[in-house]
Structure 1
Amino acid sequence: MPVILSEPKITYTAVPKNACTSLKFAFYFLQNGEAFEPSIKNGKPFHIHTCYPSAAFKPKNPAVAAEYWKTAVLREPVHRLLSCYVNRVLNLGELDAAMISAEDLEKGATPRPSFAEFVEKMDLYRSLSSSIKHHTEPHVFFLGNDAGYYDRLFKMNELEVFRAELIARTGKDFVLQREQGSGNKMKVQDLSAGLVQNIKDSYKADYDTFSFQ
């Protein structure tokens, strides 16, 4: 579901691994006039993603949607999947040995898989981890399959342009902080052509719907 500002009328639809954590913090400030502070509510952590969950696309009533400036951020799918792997698998250990059962091993899972194996067996790893599944859903899952629904789609290298546009529209200055950086040096340029093509085939719907750099 999108983050909604009522004045001015703006909706931002987040896609995991597309600077969404940083932007959700920014939109919380724009909406509430103060920084978001994680807390415990009813014994459970209340994080920015609890406040603004990313979910499957559901279009608004066209008449209502037309009143809003609708926006989102795109990330080239190969770059996005590599970022997901580095963050969720290498940094957070979501597919480490402790997370993989004997039954999972029999299905062909390897604890802490290489990126090539992660891509090759993506359906398996998605079935083993709800977090991996969530972070590897395609753009169209979150944004829908009509790029024309949005008034402006920003690329990852346009985040400062996005920030400036939000400041101009809301009259509120803010700093867009990087919330999910990793120090890993894996680069798309280091991947084999075959592996890159496999990823592109997996995310064909994204490439058919949106324009990526």
Structure 2
Amino acid sequence: MKKIKGKARSFSYKRKKVEIQNDMLWRGYRSPIVLQDYNLAYYPVPKCACTTVKEALYLKKYGENHRSLAKSIHRMLPSTTLPEGRLPSTGMTTVAVVREPLERLASAYRHIIVRSRSLERFYDRGDLRGLDPAPDMSGFVSNIEAYCEISHQIRHHVRSFTDFLGHDLSFFDYLIPMEQLSNTAFPNVDLELEYSNSSPTSDVSLTDEAMAKAMSFLAPDYEAMGGIYSKPSDSSWPGYVKSSQLWRYDVAETESKIVDMTKLPSSRLFMKQASGFLRHQLIRGVLD
């Protein structure tokens, strides 16, 4: 692996030492799961239903559900780490599942910070370097680089789409928005995909300052996926979060709007963006 020029630190990713600069937290990799029998290369992205898809692939390959408690599905169907730019075999169908970037970041926060409470072990060891072990969403986003430095789990789950899929998404034959996964046929193989996004266990909100930081942090994702997900305009940011309000998104609707969260059950609350941010548009092909 070539070293990145400039002052660098490093971290271990899939047992490989990866050099990083102060302004670049990670080096990108494309890691497909290749199914030779179906001429398919699937590129998993964390927090984009990769567990659901892998379990469906396992069922298809072995004829039974994955039940191993000793080995997670990610060990049973590991991704093949390939240097950036190296492509699968010629003629292989390439597919990836993508997700609205801000919702993906919020999902990582809910999973790692709220549900798993993964930072508590760092707090017990005194390794948090002054960071809050249980930050709210705004605190998490405002210090995202620092949290990435101390936690491989966070670093892995918030890495940019471009680190997994590259910057040119025209490389893929199919891109499936996660919101459409249950109603979309997977190419080349009939998979039993039943995905449902679990509701947050606590209110997730962002201050204006944290929203601006999130947009800066997620800029590469919105740039790469401009044909699928739209970055909200500046005019949508003022008053983004108030004491009793949260952005709500309903897959059945075409627009998001601000609503009074006290009038909705918690299962209906999702942190989403301004109207028109989601356009279910596929690149290089439309799925049935």
Percentage of pairs with the same residue: 27
Find the aligned partners of 1:7 and 1:19 in 2 and give their Cα distance: 22
Aligned position for 1:24? 54
- Whether contact under 8 Å (2:32, 2:79) holds in the other structure is yes
Which aligned segments of 4 or more residues in structure 1 are displaced greater than 4 angstroms?
Answer: 54-57, 59-62
Q: Tell me the CA shift for residue 57 of structure 1.
A: 5.9
Count of matched residue positions in the alignment of Structure 1 and Structure 2: 198
The Cα shift of 1:92 comes to: 0.3
Given candidates 135, 146, 150, the residue that maps to 2:172 is 150
**Residue identity in the other structure for 1:23:** V
Q: CA deviation at 1:78?
A: 0.8
SS of the residue 1:165 aligns to: coil
CA RMSD, 1 decimal: 2.5
Gaps of 5+ in 2: 1-30, 230-277, 279-288
Residues 54 and 118 (structure 1), Cα distance of their counterparts in 2 relative to 1, 3 Å cut: farther
Q: Assess, with a 3 A threshold, how the Cα gap between structure 1 residues 208 and 92 changes in structure 2: closer, same or farther.
A: same
Counterpart residue identity of residue 186, structure 2: E
- Aligned residue for 1:100, secondary structure, equals helix
Which residues in structure 2 correspond to 1:108-187 (within 5 Å)?
Answer: 108-162=130-184, 164-166=185-187, 169-170=188-189, 172=190, 174-178=192-196, 181-187=198-204
Q: Which has the larger helix fraction? A: 1
Look up the equivalent residue of 1:206 and give its one-letter code: D
Provide the rounded CA distance (Å) in 2 between the counterparts of 1:71 and 1:18: 13
Q: Distance in 2 between matches of 1:198 and 1:183?
A: 22
Shift in CA distance, 12/80, structure 1 to aligned 2, threshold 3 Å: same
Distance 1:60 1:126 in 2: 25
The verdict on how the C-alpha distance between 1:17 and 1:57 changes in structure 2, with shifts beyond 3 A counting, is farther
Query: Counterparts in 2 of 1:1-213, with a 5 A limit?
Result: 1-39=31-69, 45-54=70-79, 58=83, 62=87, 64-96=88-120, 98-100=121-123, 103-105=126-128, 107-162=129-184, 164-166=185-187, 169-170=188-189, 172=190, 174-178=192-196, 181-187=198-204, 190-211=205-226, 212=229, 213=278
Paired letter, 1:100:
Y
Which protein shows a greater Rg? Answer: 2
Q: Tell me the TM-score normalised to structure 1 length.
A: 0.81
Scaled by the length of structure 2, the TM-score of the pair is: 0.61
